[in-house]
Amino acid sequence: MEKTYFALVLFFVGLCLGSFVNAAVWRIKHKKDLLIARSECTHCHYKLEWYDLIPVLSWVFLRGKCRKCHKPISPQYPLVELSVAAFFVCSLAFWPISLDSVNHLLQFGIWLMAGVALAILFVYDLRWLILPDRVVFPLIGLGAASAILVGLDVRNPGYFVFNLLGSIAILSGFYFLLYIISKGKWVGFGDIKLGLGLALLLCNWQLAILAFFLANLIGTLVFAPALSTGKIKRTAHIPFGPFLIAGFVIAGLFGHDIIDWYMALTYSGIMINTP
Ligand SMILES: [Zn+2]
């Protein structure tokens, strides 16, 4: 009962923060203040009133059109709002550690805040192929805070340091290497910084490998059809941030289950093959 109530609260907070994500994407693009700038119609610059800013509902009641000029409002708005709300509820439902201490609650809170930052980066990279520092640096800050909380909680400090450095090497170091080798042609420096933030948040080398693997898998599945039919060229600039973010979220919430499942599968395979 308590958890259902908490989920409901998180759903509504997620909707509101999803609305903030949309506003933030637009404000960063137009170099406005993140928190105090007023939202406006991108066509006629009509300043939106509070009743135009109710997540999802305003868009539905206005049938996806501006109240003043009736030009279409992108479905990106309700989609992002619902996605952040869904991310919040799923995070609560599948959070891998118990929320039984202040430290664990803080880790969960940081994860949700990181989710908001990642939603901004996801949309921004998809639209403009850039991961803005104004969001990536706070994300790295959140990651550092999360890693400190994990560090305060561990019994084996040596393994914690190994986990932390391993994560960074996999999710950030590898891209840094590719960046050096290709002189910045294969990956952008933004991916290296994003990878650092994600590595700090995961703070686990196994989850880092999984996130890296999933990012490449999802990227390949999405782009392979277009590449094979020649719809996009191999040299085309493809945003990699969204795939890295998707891989990270799956690894963060389901990673331990996926690794256990994979280990069980491998182990049972060995058992069957052993005469
Ligand atoms: Zn308008």
- Residue 42: per-residue pLDDT: 85
Residue 47 CA to ligand 1 center (angstroms) comes to 9
- Residue 169 and residue 247 share a domain: yes
Q: Is there a single domain that holds both residue 89 and residue 108?
A: no
Do 134 and 168 reside in the same domain of the chain?
yes
Distance in Å, CA 30 to ligand 1 centroid: 17
Segment among 36-40, 155-159, 239-243 with least mean pLDDT: 36-40
The pLDDT confidence band at residue 233, using thresholds 50, 70 and 90, is low
The residue from 32, 66, 94 where one domain ends is 94
> Per-residue pLDDT tens for 106-133?
999 999 999 999 999 999 999 999 999 9
Residue that is last in its domain, among 43, 76, 94: 94
The total domain count for the chain is 2
Q: Mean pLDDT, to the nearest integer, of 5-12? A: 96
Cα of 52 from ligand 1 centre, angstroms:
11
74 CA from centroid of ligand 1 (Å): 12
What confidence tier does 235 reach under pLDDT thresholds 50, 70, 90?
A: low
Cα of 88 vs centre of ligand 1, distance in Å, is 31
User: For residues 167 and 76, what is the distance between their CA atoms, to the nearest angstrom?
Assistant: 32
pTM of the full structure: 0.91
CB of 63 closer than 8 Å to CB of 72 = no
18-42: average pLDDT: 90
Using the mean position of ligand 1's atoms as its centre, give its distance from the Cα of residue 48 in Å: 9
65 Cα: distance to centroid of ligand 1 (angstroms): 8
Measured CA to CA in angstroms, residue 166 lies from 202, 203, 209, 251 at distances of 11, 8, 9, 15
Residues 32 and 84 in one domain: yes
Domain limit, last residue, from 29, 60, 94: 94
Query: Is 235 in the same domain as 131?
Result: yes
Residue 213 has pLDDT above 60, yes or no: yes
Domain range spanning residue 26?
1-94
- How many other C-beta atoms are found inside a 10 Å radius of the C-beta of residue 10? 20
Tell me, yes or no, whether 125 and 221 share the same domain: yes
CA dist., res. 19 & res. 55, Å (int): 6
pLDDT digits (tens, 9 = 90+) for 59-115: 999 999 999 999 999 999 999 999 999 999 999 999 999 999 999 999 999 999 999
